[in-house]
């Protein structure tokens, strides 16, 4: 619908502002005195958690949480905390996915990965502790006055992250590489690739949006269309990622590229071709935008986010 | 106090009954159709989670949750679910602690560890997914009708498990082995050993009790003495573990023994001698029992659990 607003022009500034606010909040949550208890925190572990969580990224997930919550006039401090919890899960997943036993990556956002900067044991524990902290932050009374809402936020985050979501998707991805000697001979077919991506990256992106809706105590109908938006955005985001993997330089991304082909991974780029993948990406991004119709002009920034997720260059 | 009851005679049957109930519940939570969603669960990951969570252990943590909740007449099904969530955290920690980059153990409870039965990547993801499932279970509406209570359960579990608790304690333990080249020359001193153990094993044992109290919506004063009980029990349990490490055979424990000395780890056995460690273990177990005075006969099973934790032979 061309009559509704699309705040693409304002997006870069709003994204940057949100990334700053998330960085500040994560820095505070990961300060030596935060979450004070009776025992000192092991400094090396805290430093490794900070290495894994601070200093970078677009912070797209918390942006989606904050902008969705804004539709319902949620207090910004609450939305930021919930967004930070989602981002902590994202950061934990990067720390663990980079491990030698998993994707074995040495750099991330142009810096050494956590196990390179520290060691494997520390990286495993740092990931574990970031994941645990995410639930600590989400369940805390500052995130929402209603315990019922907080428990539902925890549920949404857990379901998107575990066996049926992100971790399960990473497992399917490793299996598709032939890690366990049982990869299908011709690679994954298109529906299998879509399922893998919906779990590995789509679930947490969709949950970022759903969590904003839960904070805003959205109606069932509102939540349903927002989840549709989140899923379509997540799928478009992943295709954009696969296109970047074949088209961008390592310098643009701050990490190795062309890894998927090297590993024989199925992506929608290999299944549909570059042009077909671009068309599918744009179709999904259009579907995400269309899902927001009922929110009118108020959803301009979420529309811009869907276009950005599909068209980003890094 | 010799006038109050101690249900030691009934403990073995009650422990076994609880272990059966927990096994059945974990089996259901980890069934292919549980937590149904729109996507199939990756079978290999689910199997590895089942390997890490089913088939063994005393299930002492859920026992503490269930027996504490019983003081407040909590519905048994709710207490079992909360106990299962705590046990899932315990199981995740075993899967990750056994990894080659951590303690590098090949067997656990007389069976191959998860990374031996599967592979390292699968074991990392299985641990991650068990941890995530713990929060899913704890936050679910079946665990308690009040969202406020469920959010507080999540908070108690997260705080006992992360940087300031179990994961932090594991980090201190690795550091004490000289892993990071910065171990104190003479080993850890007694207060440092106590802090390490309070974090690594004490925190989750104490949380098992606290979670029972939270389920029962115990008063502040009741919760405080129960946390005292849980901490003292946890400390006694760990000293008993250290004594077993030097005195038991691998066959008794279903895992390697005398590992602590081989690694130069400080334990209270090395700091206080075997006889001194036994005395300290019994002092702590007595302190745990004494903390229960206000609950009278109703706490007989918890008293027996404190004695059991200190005097167990495997």
Whole-prediction pTM value? Answer: 0.94
Asked if A131 is an interface residue toward chain B (Cβ–Cβ < 8 A), one would say yes
Asked if B32 is an interface residue toward chain A (Cβ–Cβ < 8 A), one would say no
Token pair for residue B233? Answer: 């029990």
Longest pairwise C-alpha distance within chain B: 58
Please determine, for residue A134, whether its predicted confidence score (pLDDT) is greater than 90. Answer: yes
Please give, rounded to a whole number of angstroms, the shortest distance from the CA of A10 to a CA of chain B. Answer: 36
Instruction: Reply yes or no on domain A8-311 having CATH 1.10.600.10.
Output: yes
Asked if B101 is an interface residue toward chain A (Cβ–Cβ < 8 A), one would say yes
Which 3-state string (H, E, C) describes A266-302? Answer: CCHHHHHHHHHHHHHHHHHHHHHHHHCHHHHHHHHHH
Q: Where are the beta strands (DSSP E) in chain A?
A: 107-108, 111-112
Compute how many other C-beta atoms are within 10 angstroms of the C-beta atom of residue A137.
26
ipTM: 0.94
- In tens, the pLDDT along A187-237 reads 788 998 999 999 999 999 999 999 999 999 999 999 999 999 999 999 999
Q: Find out whether A6 and A304 touch, Cβ atoms under 8 Å.
A: yes
Asked if A167 is an interface residue toward chain B (Cβ–Cβ < 8 A), one would say yes
Cα-based distances in Å from B156 to B18, B45, B59, B73, B90: 22, 27, 19, 20, 14
Please determine, for residue A13, whether its predicted confidence score (pLDDT) is greater than 50. Answer: yes
Please give, rounded to a whole number of angstroms, the shortest distance from the CA of A282 to a CA of chain B. Answer: 24
Domain locations along chain A: 8-311
Burial class (CB in 10 A: 0-12, 13-18, 19+), A237: buried
Asked if A249 is an interface residue toward chain B (Cβ–Cβ < 8 A), one would say no
CB B136 to CB A124 under 8 A? no
Return the residue of B nearest to A162 by Cα.
Answer: B129
β-pair type (B107-108, A107-108): unpaired
How much helix, strand and coil, in percent to the nearest 5, is found in chain B?
70, 0, 30
Name which residue leads in pLDDT, A220 or B250.
A220
Please determine, for residue B196, whether its predicted confidence score (pLDDT) is greater than 80. Answer: yes
CB A152 to CB B168 under 8 A? no
- How far apart CA A307 and CA A288 sit, in angstroms, is 9
Contacts of B152 in chain A (CB under 8 A): 139, 147
CB A119 to CB B99 under 8 A? no
Compute how many other C-beta atoms are within 10 angstroms of the C-beta atom of residue A106.
12
Please give, rounded to a whole number of angstroms, the shortest distance from the CA of B136 to a CA of chain A. Answer: 5
Contacts of B102 in chain A (CB under 8 A): 121, 124
Q: Where are the beta strands (DSSP E) in chain B?
A: 107-108, 111-112
Burial class (CB in 10 A: 0-12, 13-18, 19+), B259: middle
Return the residue of B nearest to A96 by Cα.
Answer: B124
Asked if A142 is an interface residue toward chain B (Cβ–Cβ < 8 A), one would say no
- In tens, the pLDDT along A239-271 reads 999 999 888 766 666 666 666 555 556 789 988
Q: Find out whether A89 and A137 touch, Cβ atoms under 8 Å.
A: no
Percent of chain A with pLDDT over 70: 89
Q: Specify the 3-state DSSP secondary structure of A232.
A: helix
Token pair for residue A39? Answer: 């025992």
State which H helix or E strand residue A246 sits in.
helix A220-247
């Amino acid at each position: 619908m061309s009559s509704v607003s699309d705040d693409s022009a304002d997006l870069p500034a709003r994204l940057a502002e949100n990334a700053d606010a998330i960085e500040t909040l994560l820095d505070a949550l990961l300060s030596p005195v935060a979450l004070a208890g009776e025992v000192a925190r092991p400094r090396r572990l805290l430093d490794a958690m900070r290495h894994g969580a601070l200093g970078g990224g677009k912070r797209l997930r918390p942006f989606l949480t904050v902008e969705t919550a804004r539709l319902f006039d949620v207090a910004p401090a609450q939305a930021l905390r919930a967004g930070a919890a989602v981002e902590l899960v994202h950061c934990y997943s990067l720390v663990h996915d980079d491990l030698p036993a998993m994707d074995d990556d040495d750099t991330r956002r142009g810096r050494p990965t956590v196990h390179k900067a520290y060691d494997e044991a520390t990286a495993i524990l740092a990931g574990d502790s970031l994941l645990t902290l995410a639930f600590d932050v989400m369940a805390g009374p500052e995130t929402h006055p209603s315990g019922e809402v907080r428990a539902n936020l925890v549920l949404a985050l857990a379901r998107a992250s575990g066996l049926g979501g992100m971790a399960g998707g990473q497992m399917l991805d490793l299996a598709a590489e032939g890690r366990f000697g049982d990869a299908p001979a011709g690679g994954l077919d298109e529906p299998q690739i879509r399922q893998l991506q919906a779990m590995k990256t789509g679930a947490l992106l969709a949950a970022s949006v759903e969590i904003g809706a839960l904070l805003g105590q959205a109606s069932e109908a509102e939540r349903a269309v927002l989840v549709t938006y989140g899923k379509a955005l997540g799928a478009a985001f992943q295709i954009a990622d696969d296109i970047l993997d074949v088209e961008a330089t390592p310098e643009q991304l701050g990490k190795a590229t062309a890894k998927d082909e090297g590993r024989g991974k199925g992506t929608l780029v290999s299944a549909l071709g570059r042009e077909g993948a671009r068309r599918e990406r744009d179709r999904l991004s259009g579907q995400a935008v269309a899902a927001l119709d009922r929110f009118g002009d108020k959803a301009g920034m979420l529309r811009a986010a869907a276009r950005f997720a599909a068209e980003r260059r890094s």
